[in-house]
Amino acid sequence: MAHRKIIEEGDSVLHKHCRPVTNFDSRLHELIDDMRETLLEADGAGLAAPQVGVLRRVVLVLETNVPEGEEPYIIELVNPEIVSTEGEQNGPEGCLSLPGRFGLVKRPMDVTVRAQDRNGNSFEISGHELTARAFCHELDHLEGKLFTQCATRMLTPNEVENGSWNDGLEV
Ligand code: ZN
């Protein structure tokens, strides 16, 4: 496994459409393993392949809704598609490619995704709250879309620093 550099805003690769994965080979496994290491090192909630410069439909999402005492784990999604959504949440969102910037973004409260695993097997998985938000955010990356394009407003540096944006938010 190797750490890969996270591409930041300003690079056109973040605005490109990603192609489906067709070969579930060792090259894909290496990409996913590298993305896992990069995500853990960056301490993020999710990572999409274009953020490491690869225009393929691969994303990782950290599942933090785990029973007390258990560790969060990484969900690997290849060629993911949203199959259903429910409810709504409006909360702060950031991106490893836009360090230090946060905005308020409306997302569904529950999201079910159909995807393939690293070996090409299809499965469905549901995410709630932050996991649902991360599914939407990462899938947007595959269409070349950043959260700044769907934020209702960006948080001011003061709000980010003080954490006062935690007050009065619908979660
Ligand atoms: Zn992002």
Residue 77 Cα to ligand 1 midpoint, Å, equals 15
Expressed in angstroms and rounded, the spacing between residue 33 Cα and the centre of ligand 1 is 18
CA dihedral 95, 99, 103, 108 (to 10 degrees): 10
Q: Is 148 helix (H, G, I), strand (E, B) or coil?
A: helix
Nearest to 75 by CA among 101, 108, 111, 50: 111
pLDDT tens column, 96-128: 999 989 999 999 999 999 999 999 999 999 999
Residue 138 bears catalytic tag: yes
pLDDT recorded at residue 42? 94
Give 134 Cα–ligand 1 centroid separation in angstroms: 9
- The CATH superfamily label for domain 12-166 reads Peptide deformylase (3.90.45.10)
pLDDT above 70 (res 167): no
Residue tagged active-site, from 138, 143, 161, 170: 138
pLDDT, tens only, 66-96: 999 999 999 999 999 999 999 999 999 999 9
What pLDDT was estimated at residue 163?
74
Reference 82, options 149, 143, 151, 162; nearest CA is 143
How many CA atoms does the CB half-sphere of 114 hold within 13 Å? 4
- Mean pLDDT, residues 157-162: 84
Output the CA 89–ligand 1 centroid distance in Å. 18
Could you tell me the pTM of the whole model?
0.93
Measure 8 CA to ligand 1 centroid, in angstroms.
10
Q: What is the DSSP letter of 13?
A: G
- C-alpha torsion sign, points 20, 25, 30, 33: positive
Compute CA distances 19 → 29, 37, 49, 50, whole Å.
17, 23, 11, 10
- pLDDT at residue 157, rounded to an integer: 87
